[in-house]
Each structure stands twice: as structure tokens, then as C-alpha cells.
Amino acid sequence: MTANADRGTTPGDDKSSGIAEDGYIRTAAQNLVSRSATIWGARNVELRGKSVVEAAAEIRGGEGGGDGGAAAPGAAGNSSGGKIRIGRYCHIGRGCVIEPAYVDDVSNTDADVTARRRLPLVIGSNTSVGPNCLVRAAAIGSSVIIGRDCTLGNRSIVKDCCLVEDGTILPPDTVVPPFSVVRSAIPGKSVGRIVDELPESCAVEIPARRLQEFGAFVAAHHSEDS
């Protein structure tokens, strides 16, 4: 299902208030979603408000189909869909793929079929995900900055107020504690390690920055249309 067919019907946000400038749809909750982004299973995806989804991004809710809408590309019919909830003032970068984590269904009795159960994914408010990231995490906290070209492996968890630097790879089931700075020594190739800590003041500074960046994004696209 394409974005234009499936987007704009997320829970609590099922009406569009118009087409924003530069190919963005402005929803009733003041989200700005690129017309070239794709949201699969939109009834399983919730954008809480004032968030940006950039061009060519994919948010894959309800991968098993059913009441969540069409299955995403490559999703097996025996994979039950997980819900995705994205908080306020979040930014999903260009070319990102965000999909729920999964666990193997041990109750499956068919030895020839690998059944998977998708887990809910919650991304906290004031969190930004850089361009070209692959996110298959179980949870991402609030006030998290994820750089470009990162991979968050299956069921990984990133707690509040973290910085995941460009090209970082988090293996499956990794848990990153609050206020951590994570970096791959060889971006895009080596496993990410905690290399530093953020100051506690970032719990205030990051939300303030996200509010400013969202306002600037809206103003920039408004000025382009005028």
C-alpha cells in the first residue's frame, strides 16, 4: 500500500488539514509527512503530533496485514503485526526504515514454517532519527539523537537522553542506558560501544532544540511556498 493511500489514517490523526509545501502533508495533529514517504498498516501507526517524516522514509506497522492494512514488502503472511507509536516533536530522516522488532512464536506447531510475532515499538518524544537508518528496536526513549546510517538491531532498546553517533551498529538485544554516547569504531561495520556520557542538562536542552528545529522546518517550507 502506498503512502498516499495509507497515510493520514493513523489513530487520533485520521484527517489531513492540507498539503504542506515541498510535497509534505500537514495532518490534523500538525505532523509533516512527505508525500514520498510510505506508511504501511497506518492503523497500527500513531504519530502523536508535530513530528516530521521525511522523503523516502518507511514506517512499517502491521506487517502481518489484517486490520493494520497491507503487508510491507518482504513481510511474511505468518508474521503478526506490531504497533508503532511515535511521540511529539520527533524527526524521522530521509530514507529511514522503521519497523517493529520480532520474536519467534514458540507456540507454532508447524516445523516447516517460522512464525514471528511483532512487538510494539514506542519512540519517545523529542527524538530524532538521522537519514538512512534501519530501526528494528523494541523501544527508543525520549530526547534521543540517532545519527545517520545507523542500524538498531532486533529488540534493541535505547533509553532516554542518548546520542547514537553516525554509522553506529547496535546488535540485537542491546540495551543502551540513559545519557550514553554510543559509537562504532568503524562506522557501518563494527559494533557500537558506549564511549561517553551526556550531561543531565540534555534532558532540558534536547527538547528545547527539537522545538526550535521543528519551528524552523515549518517556517522554511512555509517561506518556500510564499
CA 203 to chain centre: 20
Residue 119 contacts residue 138 (beta carbons within 8 Å): yes
Instruction: Report the top-level CATH class of 55-105+113-225.
Output: mainly beta
Measured between alpha carbons, how far is 123 from 52 in angstroms, rounded to an integer? 13
Measured between alpha carbons, how far is 155 from 163 in angstroms, rounded to an integer? 18
Measured between alpha carbons, how far is 44 from 180 in angstroms, rounded to an integer? 30
What does the pLDDT look like over 41-66, one tens digit per residue?
Answer: 999 999 999 999 999 999 999 754 33
What does the pLDDT look like over 97-132, one tens digit per residue?
Answer: 999 999 987 766 665 556 788 999 999 999 999 999
Is the confidence at residue 70, as pLDDT, over 70?
no
Three cell numbers, residue 146:
540517532
Please tell me the pTM assigned to this model.
0.84
CA 135 to chain centre: 7
Residue 14 makes CB contacts below 8 A (sequence gap 6+) with: 8, 28
Three cell numbers, residue 222:
512555509
Q: Mean pLDDT across the chain, nearest whole number? A: 84
Half-sphere exposure (Cβ direction) of 57: Cα atoms closer than 13 Å:
27
Minimal CA–CA distance to 83: which of 66, 53, 57, 60?
Answer: 60
Is the confidence at residue 27, as pLDDT, over 90?
yes
